[in-house]
Amino acid sequence: MRAFLLSILMLLYLAAPAQQKNETITVDGIKRKFITYNPPGVNANDKLPVIISLHGRLGTAERQMKFSNFKPISDRDKVIVVCPQGIDRSWNDGRGTPAHDKGINDVKFIDELISYVLKTYNGDAARVYVTGMSNGGFMTSRLACELHNRIAAIAVVAASMDNSESYKPEKPIPVMYIQGTDDPLVPFAGGKMKRGAGGTIYGHEEVLRKWASVDGCDNKPVITNRPPKVNDGTTITKEEYENPSTHIKVIGYTIVNGGHTWPGGSQYLPKMIVGSVTHNLDACEVIWDFFKRNRLAAN
């Protein structure tokens, strides 16, 4: 009888619904907010991968959870999704954002957030991934430089990397960059930013070559033109660099005619403001496909 009841309880546990929670931790005396999404039907002994998704400037954790919708992937493949909230709806990515001007240490915040999630939700320390768009994408690039010992791979959307001396890519890490050629806010060719937080940034091709050098990849990428799925005026080109020894990859997606948008997502603002969103690429799926192939090597 006891074994039967335990079996019933286990089945009920495994059938438990997904849980989304608003949470906080205190870092440098500041209460930092974030949202966690845990998939349903997870065994208590399972160690799950973690995707941390960073919102753009003026975004929020709540919007990012919906905007970069990793929930279907979370439910399907059992992944913890975390959307943190930046101070004044911004991240200190090294450029002149409100968080930067206030001296907010967002690298420390994400570091402590990773520790919290791993401990609280039995996350897998070898499978922590970070992605982000716009200001969140620039912050993701910074984290690749400064938290490479805790992050297995990154993916940056509609952003690049600050080309300054505040931080540098020096340690190998798998990276992906997705950028539109007609992004009106983050110039595809790089250079001086004319809007937002300003700064001088790497162009899309330049940042791929930079990371390819750091990662010890072959000089020439494999280039693939993906066949269009829909006729929305955009096309997709994929560039893939690989280290022949470690098999670390640097992957770039160029969205020809694409704007400051999340591929496969919504046209959240008019095209005249942010440009076009492509539906010839599902950013969540290609990001997860990239992430799940990478694990952090044991220290």
Query: So what's the pLDDT on residue 264?
Result: 95
Share above pLDDT 70 across residues of the chain, in percent, rounded to a whole number: 94
Angstrom distances, CA of residue 244 to CA of 153, 155, 170, 216, 292: 18, 21, 19, 8, 19
How many whole angstroms separate alpha carbon 190 and alpha carbon 212?
17
Angstrom distances, CA of residue 233 to CA of 5, 74, 112, 254, 280: 58, 30, 42, 14, 10
H-assigned helices in the chain: 2-14, 61-67, 71-77, 98-101, 106-121, 135-146, 204-214, 271-274, 283-291
Sequential DSSP letters for 11-31: HHHHTPPPEEEEEEEEETTEE
| Domains, the chain, ordered by start | 18-291 (3.40.50.1820)
- pLDDT score of 12 more than 50: no
Residues 6+ apart with CB under 8 A from 266: 67, 277
How many whole angstroms separate alpha carbon 33 and alpha carbon 290?
28
pLDDT digits (tens, 9 = 90+) for 165-195: 788 898 999 999 999 999 999 999 999 887 7
pLDDT digits (tens, 9 = 90+) for 121-130: 989 999 999 9
Query: So what's the pLDDT on residue 44?
Result: 79
Q: Which of 10-14, 138-142, 159-163 has the lowest mean pLDDT?
A: 10-14
Range 145-157 average pLDDT = 97
- pLDDT score of 3 more than 90: no
Query: At 86, is the pLDDT very low, low, confident or very high (cuts 50, 70, 90)?
Result: very high
Range 218-224 average pLDDT = 95
Residues 6+ apart with CB under 8 A from 272: none
Is residue 258 a contact partner of residue 277, using CB atoms and an 8 Å limit?
yes
How many whole angstroms separate alpha carbon 104 and alpha carbon 106?
6
Range 212-231 average pLDDT = 95
Share above pLDDT 90 across residues of the chain, in percent, rounded to a whole number: 85
- pLDDT score of 282 more than 90: yes
Token output for 223: 């280039």
Range 110-114 average pLDDT = 98
How many whole angstroms separate alpha carbon 126 and alpha carbon 11?
29
- pLDDT score of 199 more than 90: no
Q: What is the mean pLDDT of the chain?
A: 92
Query: At 45, is the pLDDT very low, low, confident or very high (cuts 50, 70, 90)?
Result: confident
Query: So what's the pLDDT on residue 57?
Result: 94
- pLDDT score of 98 more than 70: yes
